[in-house]
Amino acid sequence: MRRALLGLGVFLCTPALAVPPEVIIDPGGAPPKVLQAITDAVGAITRLTEDQDVREVSRLRRRAWEAAQAALRTQGYFGATVTLDVTPGAANGGEFWDITIDTGERARVRQLGLRFEGALAGDAYASRRQSLRDAWLLKQGMPFINDDWNRAKTELLDAASRQDFYYARYAQTRAAVDPEAAKADLDVALDSGPPVRLGELQIVGLKRVPESLIRRYVRYDPGDAYDQTRLEDWQQALQSTTFFRGAFVT
């Protein structure tokens, strides 16, 4: 009896990998910093095409468009129009992405509600509140840029918590943007909590150095107001001596 041999061939078809598109951006008068933000955002998407097959390119086009829109919003352009046109590229299957930007009007701060709660709201700290208001970075009429908004909040909290109010925190931070009017209304409430005082000095970790040396540098009276700058100065003074590899004042 003859035996018949049956051969089965399995052919695996792997999708062709996409070729990164060539991107041309018409900034439409956008400032250089805004154009750089758009370029970086879109570039992060186009680099993803190297690991995707051709079928995923349409999804990446949408993501590139969304990335450009998001970059514009971070720079204060909430009513911007982004157009992404696609044309075939070279024979290798690549594409040209022509991105046209119409920034529209840049949003500016219309209203600023800056409130203080906790002990900082008391009469004894009126001048402190005024200095914090004066130092607030994002004032009325200024462009509403995301980095400036975040920096303003960080600097205000740091300025409040470094002296007296160790437990300061935000009760609320809110930015309401009106894209049609190109205006942003800010609402910020800082809760200082109670004023904090310095307690007794506690020294740990000494082996060969007497405590009297520490007290020569770290000099204060228990009950003095908390001041982060003083702590940093004491730490720097201890570290500058030849007695320690490391010293930490907290």
Query: Which DSSP symbol is given to 157?
Result: H
Question: What is the reported pLDDT for 178?
Answer: 97
Residue 114's DSSP bridge partners are: 188
Please check the confidence at residue 196 and state whether its pLDDT lies above 90. Answer: yes
CB within 8 A of 140, min separation 6: which ones? 109, 110, 111, 112
What's the chain's average pLDDT?
Answer: 88
CB of 142 closer than 8 Å to CB of 182: no
Average pLDDT of 56-74?
A: 88
| Location of structure tokens 């250089």 | 32
Question: What is the reported pLDDT for 20?
Answer: 76
Per-residue model confidence as pLDDT tens digits over 69-128:
999 999 999 999 999 998 886 555 678 889 999 999 999 999 999 999 999 999 999 999
Question: What is the reported pLDDT for 115?
Answer: 97
Question: What is the reported pLDDT for 189?
Answer: 98
Output the six-digit token pair for 43: 């570039």
Question: What is the reported pLDDT for 93?
Answer: 63
Q: pTM here? A: 0.81
Angle among Cα 226, 227, 228 to the nearest 5 degrees reads 120
**Rg for the chain (alpha carbons), in Å?**
30
Query: Which DSSP symbol is given to 82?
Result: E
CATH number of 108-191: 3.10.20.310
Between 205 and 57, whose confidence is greater? 205
Choose among 18, 166, 28: nearest CA to 98. 28
For domain 22-102, say whether CATH 3.10.20 is its number.
Answer: yes
Helix (H, G, I), strand (E, B) or coil at 246: coil
